[in-house]
Chains A and B, each alone.
Chain A
């Protein structure tokens, strides 16, 4: 099953915001686990578990990011980025919920579709959306003074 490589955590994925990076590592780990454990003939139980983990972890992670966004005025300074960012979070949850509803109705998402969705979302979101937020935070005087090493 080498259609998707495991995502090896690397410097390119580091945003520079410790809390976010730590959580991204866990999301990447979730993806890798799905990649290694999912087979062509998925069973509903395992898919259910993976999507549940995704959902719960995503909520946890989104909360962290969106809290930072609120705290440091992302919405005021970068309204468009803020909206795009939140929109991506919501669409992730909605997609996972949809996949879960399908599973319940007996329609199992294929391994390829699930991995493709996760891979694209993760990489795109981390490399673009989250890095924008990180750059904003790292430039914020308030953030820097609150997070002095």
Chain B
């Protein structure tokens, strides 16, 4: 403040003083000089003075002299005094004004307070702030200050009065915090500060000030609340923007096990558990930057190494510029909550038997693992695992043992995989595995091999040893899809394949393979559509009773009129659909079409039967008899009894019980049933009894081979014999030559079909074929008249010598064979020889071709003996030559026999 009064002003005052002294001296000298001059003038002019005059003059002179003195010594100081006073007054009022101005600017109350001895009080002075704070004008309390005590907070009044009293008594400064209370308004906090002085009348006067500290008090209170809050039961951490810990509370120390010394000035990283990936932290920081806050679960590592889940709220603290200066994080240990959550999860996401994740949780884990593998460019494997042999354990040792086995498997699976991987159970003996983190497929394969080996180790359950193995289907990400459902489906497909083929192993999903399966499915659909569009047609191949020379029926054979590929035979497309229900649909269509055709032919006067092929799948289908019943409805018995179902022998044998049951039901409806391709399925006699069919159809492979191969002939003979024994009809398939017809007739099989009789043909063509049919006259050769017997004998002889040659060649390499060259040279010992020199000679001795046979036959035997000798001697070149000779001679012999037969036939048919 002193600077407000510059030194220049002081100098000015000095100058003023020196000038007035000079004026004074001039005035004094001037007055003396004027007085003397007047005296001198008056002395000369005046008459001589009387004494009285003289005295008067002296007095006047004296006065003249005294007056300046009086002025100088009395008036002047008085005048100065007055001026000074005036000046002081001006100064004082100036100061007061200044004070008032200052006081009015002071934020609090500046005051004087006087406490009189009688206890009354007044406020001689207070600035305008009094009005604002105490809500009373200074004038109103200048004489009586009692009002100011009425607004003090009742709780503070006593202490307030006591403090004034103490200050008054001891003349110590009055310093007091107290509150004012105005109705319901918030408290107004004041801080009083004043110095007391005792006045002469014994009263006490204070000079001082009072400031409003409400705001400060609020901040203090808030700080206190904050301090209490900070020390709550939840862990609190304050960090700076570098994530360095600035402050922690007790709860946080308790939560983490670290002391504040160990935490402060350390980075938060100290607590990192490693359970969260970078993406997690990126998301957290994004939220903090954009919203100023983040909430979530964090797994933190405690000082003791344990990792606990904590629920964390982080708030960014910003300064007035909006710049982040701190982060405050609030931690709640949710281990307990997690335990409860776990339990709930356990129910929803875990399999209760093995405690492994269930399908729902696995799907979620797949999602996470794929994301991680995509980021880290790693390979993940999704596997489906099925136990081989589990059912047996369950069946033999009981369900409790089965459950124990599943738990043991779960345990082993978990031991084989890493902690990040997942073993799940979908129910039953079906498990799934989610393996990640591979860089090479071979690594994955190693793990799978380990798992397969681990599961296959025998189990000790309920005191017994159990053996099971695992079939695992595997699909790999990223090679396969990234859709968890699709991955599981692919793994399941492959698992199924493993189960079907090898078991106890694993197989990787092959996407080309899958595409193949997909196209196979597409193709099936196309066939289904083709059926609806009417692209299928039945062709009919007649079956003929050659003994009676009449057509008895036809086998219905399905053809696919493919719009692009043309006419397709059943063996071209049936294999594609025989493992699908489509074969049942096609089978039903065939039956319906055959029934319709039967009715149509019946109308036209052709009463033949129609055979329809029924697949194994259709036969097994439990609904089949019912469906058949429905299809037959509306047809007369005479139509129904002409329908024959052909069941391939092997199909009927797949399940004899189911097969025989279905056959029985069909026959009960009046439908005939035949076993097709008979001879290929190794039927036992017992099975044949069970299957109880109407007819047997001899497989065409035996029929076509019977005249050249003794084995085929044996089968044909056996089947015919078997049919006769069981009183079954017998039909030979694949007949191509009249010789076969004659041989079959001779063997007792009258009904036959094959290209030799007629090829399959459309229904329309069949009708005209039926109308024009005439039996081959050659067939009648088998009729009982004697001459025809000769023809058959020739046929038999021919076949017999083929069989003989066949046997010679087959025996060459058989070490147990005891044939000698000598026995081969004996041309009378073979069946042909026996017939030729006995019966044959008696029937044909008149025919020259017959005589020619003798030499050829003998040469055949000679060649065979040579062959054996050379072969035994190891002379392969010579042996080969002998073999060629043998076959040539054999051919010559058969040609001679054949021409003999033709000749005979011509003669007989004349």
A and B associate = yes
| Set A52, A57, A63: member contacting B516, Cβ < 8 A | A57
B residues less than 8 Å from A101 (CB atoms):
571
| Set B564, B572, B701: member contacting A70, Cβ < 8 A | B564
B residues less than 8 Å from A66 (CB atoms):
564-565
Given A30-B516, A66-B564, the answer on whether A56 and B522 have CB atoms closer than 8 Å is no
> Is residue B519 contacting chain A, with contact meaning CB distance below 8 A?
yes
Given A26-B516, A30-B516, the answer on whether A56 and B575 have CB atoms closer than 8 Å is yes
A59 touches B576 (CB 8 A): yes
B residues less than 8 Å from A100 (CB atoms):
571, 575
Across the A-B interface, give the 5 residue pairs with the lowest CB-CB distance, nearest first.
A56-B576, A52-B575, A105-B701, A29-B512, A60-B523
Known contacts A63-B564, A104-B677, then 5 further A-B pairs from the complex at CB < 8 Å, ordered by chain A residue: A26-B519, A52-B576, A55-B572, A56-B573, A57-B516
Given A29-B512, A60-B519, the answer on whether A55 and B575 have CB atoms closer than 8 Å is yes
Q: Name the CB-closest residue of B to A94.
A: B572
Given A23-B519, A26-B519, A66-B565, the answer on whether A59 and B573 have CB atoms closer than 8 Å is yes
Q: Is the interface of B mostly helix, strand, loop or mixed?
A: helix
Q: How far is it, in angstroms, between the C-alpha of A100 and the C-alpha of B569 when the chains are bound?
A: 13
A residues less than 8 Å from B701 (CB atoms):
104-105
**A-B contact list, 16 entries, CB within 8 Å:** A26-B515, A29-B510, A52-B575, A53-B520, A59-B573, A60-B519, A60-B520, A63-B526, A63-B564, A63-B565, A66-B564, A70-B564, A93-B572, A97-B569, A104-B701, A105-B680
> Is residue A129 contacting chain B, with contact meaning CB distance below 8 A?
no
Q: How far is the CB of B67 from chain A (nearest CB, A)?
A: 135
Within 8 A of A (CB), among B516-561: 516, 519-520, 522-523, 526
B576 touches A26 (CB 8 A): no
Q: Name the CB-closest residue of A to B560.
A: A59
B residues less than 8 Å from A33 (CB atoms):
513
> Is residue A88 contacting chain B, with contact meaning CB distance below 8 A?
no
Chain A window 58-69, contacts with chain B (Cβ cutoff 8 Å), 1 for yes, 0 for no: 011011001100
> Is residue B737 contacting chain A, with contact meaning CB distance below 8 A?
no
| Set B516, B526, B565: member contacting A29, Cβ < 8 A | B516
B565 touches A97 (CB 8 A): no
Q: How far is it, in angstroms, between the C-alpha of A63 and the C-alpha of B571 when the chains are bound?
A: 17
> Is residue B759 contacting chain A, with contact meaning CB distance below 8 A?
no
Q: How far is it, in angstroms, between the C-alpha of A53 and the C-alpha of B571 when the chains are bound?
A: 13
Q: How far is it, in angstroms, between the C-alpha of A26 and the C-alpha of B515 when the chains are bound?
A: 8
Chain A window 101-137, contacts with chain B (Cβ cutoff 8 Å), 1 for yes, 0 for no: 1001100000000000000000000000000000000
> Is residue B562 contacting chain A, with contact meaning CB distance below 8 A?
yes
Q: How far is it, in angstroms, between the C-alpha of A63 and the C-alpha of B516 when the chains are bound?
A: 15
A residues less than 8 Å from B568 (CB atoms):
59
| Set B519, B564, B569: member contacting A57, Cβ < 8 A | B519
B residues less than 8 Å from A22 (CB atoms):
515
Q: Name the CB-closest residue of B to A62.
A: B565
Q: Is the interface of A mostly helix, strand, loop or mixed?
A: helix
A97 touches B571 (CB 8 A): yes
Q: How far is the CB of B497 from chain A (nearest CB, A)?
A: 11
B565 touches A25 (CB 8 A): no
Q: Name the CB-closest residue of B to A23.
A: B519
Q: How far is the CB of B521 from chain A (nearest CB, A)?
A: 10
Q: How far is the CB of A105 from chain B (nearest CB, A)?
A: 4
Q: How far is it, in angstroms, between the C-alpha of A55 and the C-alpha of B560 when the chains are bound?
A: 15
B564 touches A67 (CB 8 A): yes
Given A23-B519, A26-B519, A29-B510, the answer on whether A63 and B575 have CB atoms closer than 8 Å is no
Q: How far is the CB of A4 from chain B (nearest CB, A)?
A: 18
B residues less than 8 Å from A60 (CB atoms):
519-520, 522-523, 526
A residues less than 8 Å from B571 (CB atoms):
97, 100-101
Chain B window 487-530, contacts with chain A (Cβ cutoff 8 Å), 1 for yes, 0 for no: 00000000000000000000000101101100110110010000
Chain A window 18-56, contacts with chain B (Cβ cutoff 8 Å), 1 for yes, 0 for no: 000011011001100100000000000000000111011
A residues less than 8 Å from B677 (CB atoms):
104
Q: How far is it, in angstroms, between the C-alpha of A30 and the C-alpha of B565 when the chains are bound?
A: 22
A97 touches B522 (CB 8 A): no
B residues less than 8 Å from A30 (CB atoms):
516
Q: How far is it, in angstroms, between the C-alpha of A105 and the C-alpha of B702 when the chains are bound?
A: 9
A residues less than 8 Å from B565 (CB atoms):
59, 62-63, 66, 89
Q: How far is the CB of A54 from chain B (nearest CB, A)?
A: 10
Q: How far is the CB of B876 from chain A (nearest CB, A)?
A: 23
Q: How far is the CB of A13 from chain B (nearest CB, A)?
A: 13
A residues less than 8 Å from B519 (CB atoms):
23, 26, 57, 60
Chain B window 21-38, contacts with chain A (Cβ cutoff 8 Å), 1 for yes, 0 for no: 000000000000000000
A residues less than 8 Å from B523 (CB atoms):
56-57, 59-60
Q: Name the CB-closest residue of B to A28.
A: B512
B residues less than 8 Å from A62 (CB atoms):
564-565
A residues less than 8 Å from B516 (CB atoms):
26, 29-30, 53, 57
Within 8 A of B (CB), among A67-111: 67, 70, 89, 93, 97, 100-101, 104-105
Q: How far is it, in angstroms, between the C-alpha of A33 and the C-alpha of B562 when the chains are bound?
A: 29
A59 touches B572 (CB 8 A): yes
A residues less than 8 Å from B512 (CB atoms):
25-26, 29
Q: How far is it, in angstroms, between the C-alpha of A56 and the C-alpha of B525 when the chains are bound?
A: 13
Q: How far is it, in angstroms, between the C-alpha of A53 and the C-alpha of B520 when the chains are bound?
A: 8
Q: How far is it, in angstroms, between the C-alpha of A83 and the C-alpha of B522 when the chains are bound?
A: 27
Q: How far is the CB of B558 from chain A (nearest CB, A)?
A: 15
Q: How far is it, in angstroms, between the C-alpha of A89 and the C-alpha of B568 when the chains are bound?
A: 13
A residues less than 8 Å from B575 (CB atoms):
51-52, 55-56, 100
Q: Name the CB-closest residue of B to A96.
A: B572
Q: How far is it, in angstroms, between the C-alpha of A60 and the C-alpha of B576 when the chains are bound?
A: 10
Q: How far is the CB of A92 from chain B (nearest CB, A)?
A: 11
B residues less than 8 Å from A25 (CB atoms):
512, 515
- Most chain B CB within 10 A, of A25, A70, A93, is at A93
A residues less than 8 Å from B576 (CB atoms):
52, 55-56, 59
A residues less than 8 Å from B515 (CB atoms):
22, 25-26
Q: How far is it, in angstroms, between the C-alpha of A30 and the C-alpha of B515 when the chains are bound?
A: 11
Q: How far is it, in angstroms, between the C-alpha of A73 and the C-alpha of B572 when the chains are bound?
A: 27
Q: How far is the CB of B566 from chain A (nearest CB, A)?
A: 8
Q: How far is the CB of A95 from chain B (nearest CB, A)?
A: 12
Q: Name the CB-closest residue of A to B562.
A: A63
Q: How far is it, in angstroms, between the C-alpha of A56 and the C-alpha of B522 when the chains are bound?
A: 11
Q: Name the CB-closest residue of B to A32.
A: B512
Q: Name the CB-closest residue of A to B523.
A: A60
Q: How far is it, in angstroms, between the C-alpha of A55 and the C-alpha of B576 when the chains are bound?
A: 8
Q: How far is it, in angstroms, between the C-alpha of A70 and the C-alpha of B520 when the chains are bound?
A: 23
B residues less than 8 Å from A89 (CB atoms):
565
Q: How far is it, in angstroms, between the C-alpha of A96 and the C-alpha of B770 when the chains are bound?
A: 34
A residues less than 8 Å from B564 (CB atoms):
62-63, 66-67, 70
Q: How far is it, in angstroms, between the C-alpha of A56 and the C-alpha of B572 when the chains are bound?
A: 8
B residues less than 8 Å from A29 (CB atoms):
510, 512-513, 516
Given A29-B516, A63-B562, A63-B564, the answer on whether A97 and B572 have CB atoms closer than 8 Å is yes
- Most chain B CB within 10 A, of A29, A70, A89, is at A29
B residues less than 8 Å from A53 (CB atoms):
516, 520
Q: How far is it, in angstroms, between the C-alpha of A66 and the C-alpha of B568 when the chains are bound?
A: 15
B residues less than 8 Å from A67 (CB atoms):
564
Q: How far is it, in angstroms, between the C-alpha of A57 and the C-alpha of B517 when the chains are bound?
A: 10
Q: How far is the CB of A67 from chain B (nearest CB, A)?
A: 5
Q: How far is it, in angstroms, between the C-alpha of A70 and the C-alpha of B572 when the chains are bound?
A: 22
Q: How far is the CB of A16 from chain B (nearest CB, A)?
A: 19
Q: How far is it, in angstroms, between the C-alpha of A22 and the C-alpha of B519 when the chains are bound?
A: 11
A56 touches B510 (CB 8 A): no
Chain B window 648-680, contacts with chain A (Cβ cutoff 8 Å), 1 for yes, 0 for no: 000000000000000000000000000001001
Q: Name the CB-closest residue of B to A104.
A: B680
Q: How far is the CB of B732 from chain A (nearest CB, A)?
A: 16
Q: How far is it, in angstroms, between the C-alpha of A69 and the C-alpha of B432 when the chains are bound?
A: 47
Chain B window 698-724, contacts with chain A (Cβ cutoff 8 Å), 1 for yes, 0 for no: 000100000000000000000000000
Q: Name the CB-closest residue of A to B705.
A: A105
Q: How far is it, in angstroms, between the C-alpha of A101 and the C-alpha of B704 when the chains are bound?
A: 13
Q: How far is the CB of A27 from chain B (nearest CB, A)?
A: 9
